[in-house]
Amino acid sequence: MSQYDFEVVIVGAGIVGAACADEFARRSMRVALVDRDGVGTGATSAAMGHIVVMDDSEAQFVLTRYSQQLWQRLKPELPDDVEYEQRGTIWVAADDEEMMEVRRKHAYYSKRSVPTEVLDAQSLRRLEPNLREGLAGGLRVPEDAVVYPPCAARFLTERAQRHGAELRLGCSVVQMGVGRVRLSDGSEIGAEILVNAAGVWSSELTPGVEIKKRKGHLVITDPHPGFMRHQLVELGYLKSAHSVNSDSVAFNVQPRRSGEILIGSSRQYGAEHKEVDDAMLERMLQRAREYMPALDGMQGVRSWAGFRAATADRLPLIGPWPGDKSVFLATGHEGLGITTSLATARILVDQITGARPEIPVEPYWPSRAGQLTGEKK
Ligand SMILES: Cc1cc2nc3c(=O)[nH]c(=O)nc-3n(C[C@H](O)[C@H](O)[C@H](O)COP(=O)(O)OP(=O)(O)OC[C@H]3O[C@@H](n4cnc5c(N)ncnc54)[C@H](O)[C@@H]3O)c2cc1C
């Protein structure tokens, strides 16, 4: 009889922890998924659900593309409420300089077999007539998709449970390490492998993990079916996402299946409160109206804010934690955790079970050069 209650305990039932639980359970490992709240109630509940290939770095590209393909493979099993739709993204270029970026992205993606289409000004208007006039064109990435993240997390959790995973909600973890997770009521759960998937709270449980909170706002409108077809993102979004010091906003708008329009996005460091910041919200909406003037006539029915878990090099932390051989990280996914959840789970479990990962795993290791120093527990 093993000294452990489970082979694996995962702390955090956001989309990343849920995907990990699903992957471990489907490989017949005894796994417990623990959260102090409900399933998908952290950053996962605040997200847009854009499943998007990104190319800030080769490592980011490989992880996002691999994960997008895993979502595509999962599609036949996804229930209706996950609202998986392959809408495609259009990266909107405002001027000739941004058209150069369109062509660079097109060449980069084409070389790596990601289908894309360069749009001139006329084709852009034909596809999305509610964009303002005078834009230079864009890049359509047809395999990008959208999901409804809380239901996706629930689906993955329930599938994990069907494969034997145990879900423990309302359990606040106060400490994890050396093969044990300690809960706030004083009880402990033992496991050979502990996975820290606690998002922006990861560093509280594994001191030395460097995660910063990056606040983001979203607004959803009343339904306007047919108003737009693709997820539309300004190419300036990349500048916004890269800026590490200042607050930024970018035009990033998504049509939901219901016809509602989800409007983003903002990025702020140093904002610790979850409340909506009206000034930031207004800046974000103003930016959206600059690209799509007709949004002005729409009713915003709900707005909210959430926190992205940001690392210094903009890559997630996936793999063994150098400070404790029982601890593994699956955190730091910033604005791409919905996209990369499935790949995170796949490569983490591959590493733990000795299976051969389909992509290189080293770029995401918590021990990567100059990143972090594991603290001995
Ligand atoms: C505004 C906004 C828009 C976004 N849009 C997108 C998008 O379009 N596409 C995309 O790919 N990503 C997007 N993201 C990013 C995405 O939401 C996150 O990367 C992802 O949800 C992270 O999931 P997670 O499971 O790591 O963390 P979370 O969902 O935050 O889950 C962590 C869980 O850990 C639990 N927990 C923490 N501490 C403890 C403890 N001590 N004991 C027990 N439980 C604990 C929490 O309760 C929580 O449920 C967006 C984020 C924001 C804020």
HEC per residue, 79-118 = CHHHCCECCCEEEEECCHHHHHHHHHHHHHHHHCCCCCEE
Report the alpha-carbon distance of residue 337 to residue 359 in Å, rounded. 17
- Angle between helix 149-162 and helix 337-353 axes, rounded to 10 deg: 20
CB 316 within 8 A of CB 344: yes
Measure 313 CA to ligand 1 centroid, in angstroms. 18
Alpha helix ranges (H) inside 208-363: 236-242, 278-291, 337-353
Residues with CB under 6 A from ligand 1: 11-17, 34-37, 41-44, 46-50, 172-173, 197-199, 201, 205, 216, 218, 306-308, 331, 333, 335-339
How far is it, in rounded angstroms, from Cα 50 to Cα 147? 7
Nearest CA to ligand 1 atom 35: 12
What element of type H or E holds 255?
A: strand 248-255
Report the mean per-residue pLDDT for the chain. Answer: 94
SS3 259: coil
- The protein residue whose alpha carbon is closest to atom 15 in ligand 1 is 335
Query: What percent of the chain is predicted at pLDDT more than 90?
Result: 91
Tokens standing for 78? 């996804």
What distance in Å separates the CA atoms of residue 234 and residue 135, rounded to the nearest whole number?
Answer: 10
Whole-number Å distance between alpha carbons of 94 and 121: 10
**Atom of ligand 1 at shortest distance to CA of 153?**
25
Closest C-alpha residue for ligand 1 atom 2: 47
- For residue 39, give the ligand 1 atom closest to its CA: 49
pLDDT of residue 375: 39
Confidence of residue 377 (pLDDT cuts 50, 70, 90): very low
pLDDT tens across 15-37, in order?
999 999 999 999 999 999 999 99
* CA 231 / ligand 1 centre spacing (Å): 21
Residue 339 has pLDDT above 60, yes or no: yes
198 CA distance to ligand 1 middle (Å) = 8
The answer, yes or no, to whether residue 373 has pLDDT greater than 70, is no
Q: Which atom of ligand 1 is nearest to the CA of 204?
A: 41
Q: Say how many Å lie between the CA of residue 331 and the centre of ligand 1.
A: 9
Work out the burial of residue 279: count CB atoms within 10 Å of its CB; fewer than 13 is exposed, 13-18 middle, 19 or more buried.
Answer: exposed
Residues in the chain, overall count: 377
How close is the Cα of 177 to the center of ligand 1, in Å?
Answer: 22
Asked if 324 contacts 178 with a C-beta cutoff of 8 angstroms, the reply is yes
In the reported structure, the alpha carbon of residue 299 is separated from the centroid of ligand 1 by a whole-number distance in angstroms of: 27
How far is residue 239 CA from its own chain's centroid? Answer: 18
Nearest atom within ligand 1 for CA of residue 264: 1
- Confidence class for position 269, pLDDT limits 50, 70, 90: confident
- Give the model's confidence band at 238: pLDDT under 50 very low, under 70 low, under 90 confident, else very high: low
DSSP 32-48: EEEESS-TT-SHHHH--
Task: Specify the DSSP class assigned to residue 295.
Answer: G
d(CA 34, CA 19) in angstroms, rounded, equals: 13
Q: 273 C-alpha to center of ligand 1: Å? A: 16
Confidence bin at 162 (pLDDT 50/70/90): very high
Q: Tell the residue number behind the tokens 């009343």, with chain if given.
A: 222
pLDDT of residue 24: 98
Residue 3 in this model has a pLDDT that exceeds 90: no
Q: Which helix (H) or strand (E) holds 205?
A: helix 202-205
Confidence class for position 244, pLDDT limits 50, 70, 90: low
- 246: pLDDT strictly greater than 80: no
What amino acid is encoded at 288 in this protein? A
- In the prediction, which pLDDT does 236 show? 81
**Amino acid identity for residue 86 in this structure:** Q
pLDDT for residue 369:
55
pTM: 0.96
Cβ pair 76, 70 in contact under 8 A? no
Question: Where residue 360 falls among pLDDT bands split at 50, 70, 90?
Answer: very high
Please report the atom of ligand 1 found closest to the CA of residue 12.
34
